[in-house]
Chains A and B, each alone.
Chain A
Amino acid sequence: MSFSRMALAAILTLTATSALQATEITKLRVATEGAYPPFNYTGPDGVLTGFDVEIGNALCAEMKVECEWGTQEWDGMIPGLVAGKYDAIIASMSITEERLERISFSRSYYNTPSTVAVSKDSPISEITPEALTGLLIGAQGGTTHSVVAEEVYSESDVSLYPTSEEYKLDMESGRLDAVIDDLGVLQSWINSDAGACCKIIGSLPIQPELHGQGIGVGVRKGQDELKGRFSNAIHAIRENGTYKKINDKYFSQDAFGE
């Protein structure tokens, strides 16, 4: 094979690959945790559902792509995305500085505050650090709310649980004095039979240096086009009322924030 033919082959391959890259993405693999009701969980029928999943499906419909959902344990969420096991994370993941070092995020699609719940017969009525000094507070490890718990309530003992299910068990059994998590998570729990033990006493103001910039869709670094499409789709469903429809199904207030 002569040199010119080789060069031609190389050019052809290059154009072919760039043409492939330019084609529209028609199928996306999306990961979520599946253990964070009401945002993402497996329903009684075994189907993955929740606010994240419904918003995700609305975004995919808006972007005219087919989305295939899968579950991934929380701690492995970002490594899995980086390794290419899936293309996007829609799992109530806050946009924080540390995460931005590894992956990119779309604009936020919701932003709800850290909220504190206590037992119904608890004497605690305030959420100031003084009111909770020396008490045992539960949170899900690896979440922004757990970081908030450790920073704000530095004089309390913070117990970290693998998922929200376990701290709920310990709240019901009375091991924990208080629990801190997302407003939506605690609200839906307290409104269910399992959460009959407890009440919400207040929410902390959102602190961007701890909470990050709200909850976004995570994509691999460099996939700016996909990131932009997600951001535009979030805008679009916000404008056309789809967002409100899903929001009202889960929450009494608007979760979008700002």
Chain B
Amino acid sequence: MSNLSLGAAGSFVQNQTIEAKAPPPPPKSRDWTLTRVAGTTWLTFWILGGLGIVWFLLNSNHVALVFQDDGFLPVSITHNAKFLVKYGEKFVSGFLITLKLVGLSMLLGVLLSIPMTFMRMSKSRILGGIAYAYIYFFRGTPLLAQVFLIYYGAGTFRIPLQSIDVWWFFRDAWNCAVLAFTLNTAAYQVEILRGSIQNVAKGQWEAAAALGIPKWLTFWKIILPQALIVSLRPYGNEIILMIKGSAIVAIITIFDLMGETRRAFSRTYDFQAYVWAAIAYLVMVETLRRLWDRIEARLTRHLKR
């Protein structure tokens, strides 16, 4: 733990570089070993697959090069991107709906999961039992069923819901979707958070107590920062799962990216609809992955030497 406090202090970090005692070893010769052949073959397949997709998309939009004799440039590109012109805007709106839905649900999920985590870890059997039952249900049933139950289930209980004046909330499909997604992700987040808090050594609590630090401050300043490092990757996984899980939301008339894809496909029977959707999901997940690498580097900077 000594280097931890040194790193955090910053100014104690050594600035001078250590002289190398021996010259670096010569680079290994790059022989065509079996592993390397296999790796190269595998990579070639991936590259060919990627090129195939690019070719398919160009071909689907009738992109072609035309050679001309006159004009400034001898070559020009012609295309007939009927599909993109007609459905491009809808894809963008679906993409934004997916982002909004997942972003909002994750945020509300974080807010809900913190008190739920305390309930789950509490010594009270009633509080612990409630949290346990909640997590048990939402982790044990499919998201599709939860969305369906909340949306169409609320519809069949219209009269009682109206009598307690909450029907306005359940009438709107968007509210139902956000509610279902929030409840679902919060259940997972409670377990992520609980696991990572309990992962921090008990000695940390005891040491803080010995120094006379209040419990809440111990949690906020000592336990939580260490727990967040552990929980960062599981949180990232949870967001990725939510992004992909959100594709089912079109059953309750919210046209997210997948809903728009299906709509475009059912009108045109053009497979590029699904290719664009796959690309859009990949972009989302890849952006998140890179962001997570940054956050991790930032959170663990005191562990680097």
Size range of the chain A interface in the assembly: 20 to 34
- B155 and A170 form a contact (CB under 8 A): yes
Residues of A close to B262: CB separation below 8 A: 75, 141-142
Q: Known contacts A172-B155, A173-B158, A175-B155; decide if A75 and B265 are in contact (CB<8 Å).
A: yes
Partner of B269, one of A79, A141, A147: A79
Q: B64-82: which have CB < 8 Å to A?
A: none
Size range of the chain B interface in the assembly: 10 to 19
Report the nearest B residue to A79, measured CB to CB: B269
B194 within 8 A of A: no
- B266 and A141 form a contact (CB under 8 A): yes
- B269 and A160 form a contact (CB under 8 A): no
A179 within 8 A of B: no
- Chain B residues engaging chain A, CB cutoff 8 angstroms: 152, 154-156, 158, 171, 173, 250-251, 253, 255, 259, 262-263, 265-269
Q: List 23 A-B contacts (CB under 8 A).
A: A75-B265, A79-B269, A98-B269, A99-B269, A101-B269, A141-B262, A142-B262, A142-B263, A159-B253, A160-B250, A160-B259, A160-B263, A162-B250, A170-B152, A170-B155, A172-B155, A173-B152, A173-B154, A173-B156, A173-B158, A175-B155, A175-B171, A175-B173
Residues of A close to B250: CB separation below 8 A: 141, 160, 162
A217 within 8 A of B: no
Report the nearest B residue to A82, measured CB to CB: B269
Partner of B152, one of A78, A160, A169: A169
Q: How far is the CA of A157 from the CA of B154 in the complex (A)?
A: 21
Q: How far is the CA of A187 from the CA of B290 in the complex (A)?
A: 55
Q: Mark A177-198, 1 if CB is under 8 A from B, else 0.
A: 0000000000000000000000
Counted as pairs of residues, one from A and one from B, with CB atoms less than 8 Å apart, the total is 51
Q: Is the interface of B mostly helix, strand, loop or mixed?
A: helix
Residues of A close to B268: CB separation below 8 A: 98
Report the nearest B residue to A138, measured CB to CB: B253
Partner of A162, one of B158, B171, B251: B251
Q: How far is the CA of A42 from the CA of B154 in the complex (A)?
A: 26
A166 within 8 A of B: yes
- Chain A residues engaging chain B, CB cutoff 8 angstroms: 74-75, 78-79, 98-99, 101-102, 138, 141-142, 147, 159-162, 166, 169-170, 172-175
Q: How far is the CA of A162 from the CA of B129 in the complex (A)?
A: 38
Q: How far is the CA of A78 from the CA of B158 in the complex (A)?
A: 38
Q: How far is the CA of A160 from the CA of B253 in the complex (A)?
A: 5
Known contacts A75-B266, A142-B266, A160-B263; 12 additional CB pairs below 8 A are A74-B266, A75-B265, A78-B269, A98-B268, A138-B253, A147-B267, A160-B253, A161-B253, A162-B251, A173-B152, A173-B158, A175-B173
Q: How far is the CA of A74 from the CA of B262 in the complex (A)?
A: 11
- B269 and A102 form a contact (CB under 8 A): yes
Most chain A CB inside 10 Å of its own CB: which residue of B173, B250, B262, B269: B269
Residues of B close to A98: CB separation below 8 A: 267-269
Q: How far is the CA of A166 from the CA of B173 in the complex (A)?
A: 13
- A169 and B267 form a contact (CB under 8 A): no
Residues of B close to A160: CB separation below 8 A: 250, 253, 255, 259, 263
Shortest beta-carbon distance from B166 to chain A in Å: 14
Residues of A close to B265: CB separation below 8 A: 75
5 smallest A-B Cβ distances: which pairs?
A173-B155, A142-B266, A159-B253, A75-B266, A102-B269
Residues of B close to A79: CB separation below 8 A: 269
Most chain A CB inside 10 Å of its own CB: which residue of B152, B171, B173, B266: B266
Shortest beta-carbon distance from A138 to chain B in Å: 8
Partner of A142, one of B155, B156, B267: B267
Report the nearest B residue to A75, measured CB to CB: B266
